[in-house]
Amino acid sequence: MAGHDALLCDLDGVIYAGPAAIPGAVEAIAAAQAAGIAVGFVTNNASRPVEAVAEHLRSLGIDTDAEHVFGSAKAGARLAAADARERGVSAPTAMVIGAATLREEVLAAGFSLVEVNSEAQPDYVIQGFDPGLGWSDLAAAAFAIHRGARWVATNTDSTIPRAEGIAPGNGSLVAAVRNAVDVEPLVAGKPEPALMLLAAASLGAKRPMMVGDRLDTDVAGGNAAGFTSALVLTGVHTSADAAAAPEAQRPDVVVPSLAELLTAPALTTAGQGA
């Protein structure tokens, strides 16, 4: 961590696995905070309120609050707002295809909402995950995009884990709309850089390190943002995966777990046989 002023941590596979904290993770966060390193938590989840995420982290023993949790709902709303400013769209309107959390973030970003069943044409369609979405919601998004609305997706994770197994994620729903409109959305969440950049800017970080357990989202997102990236081996990907990864997904550092990240001798680069 030498030379870094912030730690941006993915959640599942880095901080916790299932209901329990990964051994040493809570202590590692506390040690980083004690050393004056800002710690933020980044998640592609666009339907869970950041307050709920912060409460979960506190229940594990981590000293944090909602201001240190960064989700793709806020990043998506901010990305759309920045695009509107760049395009000179004053008083922008948006149709939200997603959960209440995303609606709140879109309103907070300065948009007026156009409802799915409205005849009004929105300037933007902003799409995030909501298990209650149906065909009519996706069709309304496609119709608005066909008529010229700009399209923003909070994230494109194709699957999400559920207690019963693996289920379609927001990326699968985005793909359904994409198939109808033949247009690519602007994407806020990992592996795109918008979410990472939002977190770093909010923390006032100049030299952040992104820590995750997935090469294709966490590491790729950190690399895309220009940050140092670290892979922990407590989740999805292995050191062998890191060594074989394409350059865009190759971490700067590979460590067994978050606990070892703060111990300089344990740092091992992916290109050195980690």
Binding site as annotated, residues for substrate: 190
Beta carbons within 10 angstroms of residue 244's beta carbon: 12
Q: For residue 155, give both structure tokens.
A: 């994230």
Phi, psi of 35 (to 5 degrees): -85, 5
Cis, peptide link before residue 19, omega less than 30° from 0? no
Residues of each annotated binding site for Mg(2+): 10, 12, 213
Residues 6+ apart with CB under 8 A from 16: 22, 25, 60
Residue 204 zone, left/alpha/beta (φ > 0; ψ -120 to 50; rest):
left
62 within 8 A of 72, measured Cβ to Cβ: no
∠ CA 244-248-252, nearest 5°, is 75
DSSP assigned state of 217: I
Residues of each annotated binding site: 10, 12, 190, 213
DSSP assigned state of 184: P
Cite the active site residues.
Answer: 10, 12
Residues 6+ apart with CB under 8 A from 201: none
